[in-house]
Structure 1
Amino acid sequence: MKIVTLLENTSSDERLTAEHGLSLYIETEKHRILFDTGQTDAFARNAVHLGVDLRLVDMAVVSHGHYDHTGGLARFLAVNEHAPVYVHRRAFERHLAADDREIGMAPSLAGHPRIVPTDDVLSLDDDMWLCSCNEKARPFPSYSQDLLMVRDGHPEPDDFTHEQYLCLRERGRLVVISGCSHKGILNIVQWLRPDVLVGGFHFRSLKSDQQSRATLDFAARHLAEFPTEYYTCHCTGLGPFEYLKQTLGDRLHYLSCGSRISLP
């Protein structure tokens, strides 16, 4: 399996555009998959430099209904004329930041004929599926309490039922791809118990104060209990990443624009 980071907050390659967002290209033995599209068309421009032909992608997955993961979707639909796009049925609901700023998907895409609405579990292949884990208990915090959704015309704390995870089993290993892990990275690892997890942990709002360090210590201890290899990015934050790495060591890696993973 090969994973290429088309778009992320950081880049060490001057040819590539970085922006707050995420987009991954995933190539398995059977499929070419686009996972999220960042907030602009930068992912598509970066794909050209990275030798990724988006026209050959045979399916796309939207992790959740936020602009920094879906803003480039219209560009993808224009470049690629055939791939279905799997989006959770709640992703097109309104989503807000704590300051009431709109951070949701473009409503104009809701009726697009290639958008495939998903619910809790959808099998895409014998060894590939989407799941939201909405029916599972959440014993650990989500670290996304400042984000809102609009239901029945009223803002309320987001329950992130619109977030879904891509699960791929190849050569006996389970790889889970998560966008921002808004339901809580510790919950996701406990639910799915992957061999490899790729995605954001949503720790970026944590500072260097004592309470934040205690939160990260707690997270690091629990993540270390699983034999999982972690590739993180985007909303984890560089400071929290470096702090977590003190505990997780070589099992934790950071993905920037242009990073490539080859999984055996």
Structure 2
Amino acid sequence: MKTPFILYSKVSKMKGCKKVMRITILVDNNTFIDKYYFGESALSMMIEIENEKILFDMGYSDIFLKNSQIKGVNLDETTKIVFSHGHNDHTRGMSFLPKSSGLFGKPIYAHPLFWNSKRFEKLDIGAPKNIDWLGDRFDLRLQKEPVKLTNKLWYLGEIDQYTDFEKREAIGENFVNNQWQADYVFDDTAMAYETKEGLFIITGCSHSGIANICEHAKKVTGNNKILGIIGGFHLFDLDERLEKTVEYFQNNNMTQLYPSHCVSFKAKAYINQFIDVEEVGVGLEINV
């Protein structure tokens, strides 16, 4: 097996700054040529920062475990777990944790609605385990408010509405207050890392809207500069939303874009006409 390559972010290479946060992609839709990992339509990352190892999402199957082993990432060293939201392409991997998993007992940061049952056209798309199972095995820290996970890394909590082109759309239903109701994915959240050059956003699917997430990060941190983003942008069609999103990126002078998971090829190609888009796949490492 060939040694997986390491791609450093432009922040590290061009600015010569100290490399203080490393992100490793453990699960993504894409795999690189001649890099022998497993891929699926899901997402998981390991974030290493300030002596912390933070697992962000667990994908859909057991491949986050397999890819971690191949990559040499020791999940037992995880200090915190963050879930971007409760859809099963980000949470179902927890079903495959062995009884002896070193992840058990670790704190989980997520929105209080992330564990609620979710369905789309009668298909179960929610987290595989209920709150009792989670509470017995993890230190649950579920909240809507932002939390500082380290000196420079924020869990953003519930994302507010800031733009007029990213209005929330219902994705199936969720079970709340003993009834099924339209699910606007209010449990969708993200993280923001503070650098001297601006904020670096880490997102799962961006159901809240990627520009809304960036604006919320500005509000939470008090920093109005967005350096870059890695994760799902939830952009698929060549439409007005995509055009206005690119305008937003340009107006904010973003230079580091790593769209992954839930971004179509044609959306990436469109963005790349205006801002260089980096390829993302399982095994990718960036240092910010």
TM superposition score category, shorter chain reference = 0.7 to 0.9
Q: Give the alignment of 1:106-255 within 5 angstroms.
A: 106-108=128-130, 109-114=133-138, 115-142=140-167, 144-170=169-195, 173-193=198-218, 194-204=226-236, 206=237, 212-228=238-254, 229-248=256-275, 250=276, 252-255=277-280
* Corresponding letter in the other structure for 1:62: F
Q: Which residue of 2 aligns with 1:65?
A: 86
Residues 115-156 of structure 1 deviation map (CA, whole Å, 9 limit, x = unaligned): 322222223233222122445545332575444323345443
Change (3 A) 1:171 1:220: closer
Q: 5+ residue gaps in structure 2?
A: 1-20, 219-225
Hey, what's the Cα distance between the residues in 1 that align with 2:212 and 2:69? 36
Hey, what's the Cα distance between the residues in 2 that align with 1:151 and 1:236? 29
Aligned pair partner of 1:105 in 93, 103, 127: 127
* Corresponding letter in the other structure for 1:217: E
Please give the TM-score of this superposition, normalised by the length of structure 2.
0.79
Hey, what's the Cα distance between the residues in 2 that align with 1:195 and 1:76? 35
Q: Which moved more, 1:20-29 or 1:122-131?
A: 122-131
Secondary structure at 2:123 match in 1 = coil
Hey, what's the Cα distance between the residues in 2 that align with 1:183 and 1:157? 15
* Corresponding letter in the other structure for 2:188: E
Size of the aligned set, in residue pairs, is: 254
Q: CA deviation at 1:195?
A: 2.0
Identical columns (%): 25
Aligned pair partner of 2:66 in 35, 38, 45: 45
Q: Which residue of 2 aligns with 1:209?
A: none
Q: Which residue of 2 aligns with 1:29?
A: 50
Does the CA contact (< 8 Å) of 1:140 and 1:187 recur in 2?
Answer: no
Hey, what's the Cα distance between the residues in 2 that align with 1:50 and 1:213? 38
Hey, what's the Cα distance between the residues in 2 that align with 1:82 and 1:121? 22
Q: CA deviation at 1:82?
A: 4.4
Residues 83-123 of structure 1 deviation map (CA, whole Å, 9 limit, x = unaligned): 322222111112222x2311000234343341322222223
Secondary structure at 1:71 match in 2 = helix
Q: Which residue of 2 aligns with 1:261?
A: 286
Q: Which residue of 2 aligns with 1:56?
A: 77
Secondary structure at 1:253 match in 2 = coil
Change (3 A) 1:213 1:123: closer
Does the CA contact (< 8 Å) of 2:161 and 2:212 recur in 1?
Answer: no
Secondary structure at 1:86 match in 2 = strand
Hey, what's the Cα distance between the residues in 1 that align with 2:247 and 2:270? 12
Q: CA deviation at 1:219?
A: 2.0
1:85 paired to 2:112? no
* Corresponding letter in the other structure for 1:235: C
Secondary structure at 2:253 match in 1 = coil
Q: CA deviation at 1:17?
A: 0.7
Please give the TM-score of this superposition, normalised by the length of structure 1.
0.86
